[in-house]
Amino acid sequence: MAYPTLDYLPSLTAQQLALAHPLVLEKPDQPSPNASWELTAFVYTSDPYASLDDLYSFTVVENATYSFYTSSFFDPFMITLYDAAGRVIAVDRESDYDYGHDVLGRFAAPYSGKMYVNAGWHQGSVSPHFGASLSIFADLDTIPPLTNTMTGTSGADTFIATKSADLVDGAGGIDTMVYKGKRVDYDIVKSGAELTVYSLVSNDGVDKLRNVEELRFSDSVTDIAHSDLAQALYVSYFGRAADPGGLKNFQARLSQFNAPSSAAELSARYNTDARIKGLIDSFASSAESNDLYSGDNKAFVRAIYSNLLSREPDQGGLDFWTGAINAGTLTRANASLSIMAGAQGNSSNQGKLDALLIGNKISVALNFTYGVETEGKVGAYNGLGAAAVSRELLKQVNASTDAFTFQTQVMKAVDSLPTSAGGLAPLAHPDAPAILLGGVDSLPSAFLYA
C-alpha cells in the first residue's frame, strides 16, 4: 500500500536496521480506566551512552493508532518513525510537550508488520543518575472491523466503501456504492445475484453487494441496472459478451425507457411500447447477427438454442418456435427473448438446468466485460477474432459453473485478446443498442418450452 515518506530525512542503513533493539507491545498489568490504549511497551535506561543506541523495532497492526513518548535529561532531539525499509514516515513536532519530553501522538499504521523508532535521547555529559525512557502505546479500537454490514431502505441509498469487507444489501430503490479510487483500480466479479468488488491497489476489504444498482468511482460510474438483461441479449443474439461501450449505451437506453429488468416483462412491453419495439428491432438487421444466424427459420432457432442453452432443441420446441416464426406471430427479432423467457420460467428438470446455465452465462459474460474495462482492453475487444475469444469462453460454461471460481478463465480470455482488430469486421458499434428479442402476441401464458 502506498503511504507518504519524508524523503528529505536520511533513511536507516542496513547495519542500523540490524542493530535495532526489539520491543514487544503487550497488555499492561494494570491498565488505566481512562486510557484508550490496549497495548504498551516501555524501556528505561541510565546508561550514559544511551543516546548513541536509541533505535528500537516493534510490530504494528494496520490502522491501529500508536503514540510515542520519550524523555531524557536534555530535551530529546526528535522522535523519528521509520518503516520496514528504514524510510522516515513520521517525526514529532518538537513543540508539543514539556522540556525534557517529546511526543509523537496518534499515528495510524499504514500496514501490518515491522517498524522502527528512534527515541532521540539527548543526555549530554551528565551523571548516569539522569535516565532516559521510551514508551509506546497502541490503540486497537481504530482498526476497522473485519466485516461491515450495511442494509438499505426501500428508497435510494448511498453507501461509502470502507476498509472493512463491506456486506451491502441495498434492498429497494436505486442504490449506489461509492469508491474513492478510479474504475481501473477495482475488479468486479458477478456470481448470481451477488457482486464482489475488490481493490487492486490498496488493502481495502473485499466487498459483497446485493441489490446495488450503481457503482460510483472517482472517474466514472458503472451502471448495474439492466446489466443482466443486456448481457443475456448479447449472449443469445451474438453469442458473446457485450463490449463495455455497447453495454453502457444499451443500459442507458433501457433506463431512459423505464424498461423492466426481466425477459418476460420486457417481452410484454415489446408489444405495447413503440420505443422498446424500435430498440429491439433496430438490431435485428445487424451484420454480426445476420452472419451468425444465416439460414432458414429452423437453423435460426437451433442457433439460438446453441448460443443461449448450449444444446439442440427437442423436436417439440423446434417445431413450436419455428412454427410461430413461419406463421408471423413471432418475428426473428423477437425469438431469442421469448425462448430465454421460456427457459427462465420453466419448472421442468431441463428448464431448471437451462435457467441455471443462462444465469451462469450472464455472470461470466458480465465478468468478461468488466475485465476488459479493468485491464484497459476496451480497444482490443473489437473484430471477429476478439468476438471468437468471448464465444469460446462462454462455451465452457455449464449449469454447475461457479462464476467466481471461473474468474481465472475469464481473465485468461481477456489477456488473450488480440492487440488489434487486424482489419477484421468490427463488433456491433458500441453506440448501437444490442438486439432485444420480444414476445409473441398470441402465445399462451404458459410457454410451450422444450
- Residue 387 pLDDT greater than 50, yes or no: yes
Name the strand (E) or helix (H) holding 357: helix 349-374
Cell 490496549 sits at which residue? Answer: 38
> What's the pLDDT tens digit per position in 427-438?
554 334 333 333
User: Stretch 178-207: mean pLDDT, rounded?
Assistant: 90
- Residue 124 pLDDT greater than 80, yes or no: no
- Residue 423 pLDDT greater than 70, yes or no: no
Which pLDDT score, from 0 to 100, does residue 284 have? 64
Packed helices 332-345 and 263-270: angle between N→C axes, nearest 10 degrees: 140
- Residue 239 pLDDT greater than 90, yes or no: no
Of 209-213, 232-236, 339-343, 410-414, the poorest mean pLDDT is in: 232-236
Q: For the chain, give the mean pLDDT.
A: 85
Question: What is the model's pTM?
Answer: 0.69
- What gap in Å lies between CA 288 and CA 290, rounded to an integer? 6
**What's at 270, amino acid-wise?**
Y
- Residue 187 pLDDT greater than 70, yes or no: yes
Angle at 270 between CA 267 and CA 273, to 5 degrees: 140
Confidence band, pLDDT 50/70/90 cuts, at residue 180: very high
- What gap in Å lies between CA 437 and CA 340, rounded to an integer? 9
Which pLDDT score, from 0 to 100, does residue 98 have? 76
Domains of the chain are 14-142 (2.60.120), 147-223 (no CATH), 230-415 (no CATH)
User: Stretch 227-234: mean pLDDT, rounded?
Assistant: 87
> What's the pLDDT tens digit per position in 302-333?
988 988 899 999 999 999 999 999 998 888 87
- What gap in Å lies between CA 224 and CA 212, rounded to an integer? 7
Count of all residues that appear for the chain in the document: 450
For residues 119 and 102, is the Cβ–Cβ distance under 8 A? no
- Residue 18 pLDDT greater than 90, yes or no: yes
